[in-house]
């Protein structure tokens, strides 16, 4: 039986629950990495694995996954979470919409990785948000992101296994390694990267239907490659882009800027 959650958000519930079997292999892989590298990795138990009350409110569609995995700490630093306690609309979330339209998987004061949530409650694509508030397509879905995360974690742990430093030095090394293997690219920090730019277009110039009436620009990432970038701040829209907010469509693959 799951530990009671702080169900403070009015999450949409129309979408079916994501079957844990769909991500079972990668969850087992992450669990194995954590157990093999206990010196560096702490596995945060899922909601069904702890008797403590957890102040978290994940989307209902993530119930089965969140029951099994709460997150990962690497050398004391949280690098993956499915248990966000406090939600905010500032920093990297400035241009995002309602709190029920996304769920953070990783965050710093200036950047974040988020799972998009469609209006029916279905989880969709995963994006990194850089300091410039641009969106970077990290994965088409949660399973894809967890695979990518596991690859980066394994590479980082293999490198750490060859080091004998401790304390802050090891924490700093782990942070730099995870950045190099994952976060630099998806948070726009890789100066050598040349991401595909997906432009924001006026709604009238696209063939996308069922857009909200207050949409002012739309970017179509349904065929975009991993790493594709959408620059929200430099959008050619009336007024100040900071007065707008993002709405997702098509499981997060269509980005709508709305007033």
Please give the pLDDT value at position 4.
37
Q: Which of these ranges, 11-20, 154-163, 204-213, has the smallest mean pLDDT?
A: 204-213
Read off the pLDDT of residues 214-223 as tens digits, 9 standing for 90 and up: 889 999 999 9
Q: Give the global pTM.
A: 0.93
Please give the pLDDT value at position 212.
79
Percent of the chain with pLDDT strictly greater than 70: 97
29 pLDDT tier (thresholds 50, 70, 90): very high
Q: Are the C-beta atoms of residues 189 and 201 closer than 8 Å to each other?
A: no
Residue 182 has pLDDT above 70, yes or no: yes
């Amino acid at each position: 039986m799951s530990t009671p959650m702080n169900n403070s958000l009015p999450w949409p519930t129309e979408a079916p629950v994501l079957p844990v079997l769909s991500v079972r292999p990668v969850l087992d892989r992450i669990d194995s990495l954590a157990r093999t590298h206990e010196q560096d990795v702490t596995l945060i138990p899922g909601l069904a694995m702890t008797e403590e009350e957890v102040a978290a409110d994940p989307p209902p569609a993530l119930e089965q996954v969140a029951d099994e995995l709460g997150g990962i700490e690497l050398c004391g630093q949280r690098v993956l979470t499915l248990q966000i306690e406090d939600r905010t609309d500032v920093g990297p979330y400035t241009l995002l919409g309602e709190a029920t339209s996304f769920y953070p998987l990783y965050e710093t004061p200036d950047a974040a990785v988020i799972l998009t949530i469609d209006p029916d409650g279905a989880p969709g694509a995963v994006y990194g948000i850089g300091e410039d508030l641009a969106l970077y397509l990290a994965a088409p879905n949660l399973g894809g992101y967890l695979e990518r995360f596991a690859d980066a974690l394994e590479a980082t742990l293999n490198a750490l296994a060859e080091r004998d430093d401790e304390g802050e030095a090891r924490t700093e090394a782990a942070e730099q390694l995870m950045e190099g293997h994952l976060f630099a690219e998806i948070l726009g920090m890789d100066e050598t990267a040349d991401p595909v730019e997906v432009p924001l277009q006026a709604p009238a110039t696209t063939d996308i239907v069922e857009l909200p009436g207050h949409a002012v620009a739309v970017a179509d990432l349904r065929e975009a490659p991993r790493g594709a970038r959408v620059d929200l701040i430099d959008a050619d829209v009336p007024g100040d882009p900071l007065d707008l907010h993002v709405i997702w469509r098509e499981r997060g693959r269509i980005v709508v800027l709305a007033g």
